[in-house]
A and B are shown apart, each in its own frame.
Chain A
């Protein structure tokens, strides 16, 4: 599934790096601690979090995830948005919470 298909299925909105919305998503990881994501998220995961600062983007790029999903309408800082555009990590915004998004993503992935 691509990031844009995922975004449409969960009723979200791409708020940064829409250029990279054909990135593939094959799994997911849900956590707000950056060092967990660095150590455990896999490439082509959709990363679900409520933290939207520049370090979120740096970590997403290090872990090479396919996209970030910001749950609970969490804000994306202005410098984080710029960095997301620069490194090409799409960010989806959603009003749903991390649990709801994890369940929906799992269903979409046939888990």
Chain B
């Protein structure tokens, strides 16, 4: 049974709006009354994945499904895809361009952070077609 579903369109290359979707979901989860630690983990993972769509994939669409047991989120983009997922998951690996490094991005810690704060994480990617990142945080 799902309590609520949400969809967010994430514009590409707009760093001033990046983080709006995760901020908005955070407020919704607070209203529903989830545990603060669960909300913190969802918000962090969602922020990292949202920013990745902006920086690396020219934006995309986020779908969220909230149930009493867990929060599932799909991040779908039509970006360049990820050639080597194991490499991308390594701490410190980043292809972020210089212009976003000066904004504080590009530590190569985003995907490892997502892994750390979620209970499930799965990346489906195809070169030249796009990437879907799925995450799930259990609410117990």
Decide yes or no whether B58 CB sits under 8 A from chain A. Answer: no
A23-54, CB under 8 A of B: which get 1 and which 0?
00000000011111011000000000101011
> Which residue on chain B has the smallest CB distance to residue A31?
B107
What is the predominant secondary structure among interface residues of chain A facing chain B? helix
A62 close to B47 (CB less than 8 A): yes
Number of interface residues of B (CB under 8 A): 23
Which of A34, A62, A79 is within 8 Å of B104, CB to CB? A34
B40 close to A79 (CB less than 8 A): no
Decide yes or no whether A58 CB sits under 8 A from chain B. Answer: yes
Decide yes or no whether A94 CB sits under 8 A from chain B. Answer: no
Given contacts A33-B104, A62-B44, A39 and B113 within 8 Å (CB-CB): yes
Top 9 closest pairs, chain A to chain B, by CB: A35-B109, A33-B107, A58-B19, A34-B104, A35-B107, A51-B104, A39-B113, A35-B110, A62-B44
Enumerate chain A interface residues (CB-CB to B < 8 A): 32-36, 38-39, 49, 51, 53-56, 58-59, 62, 64, 79
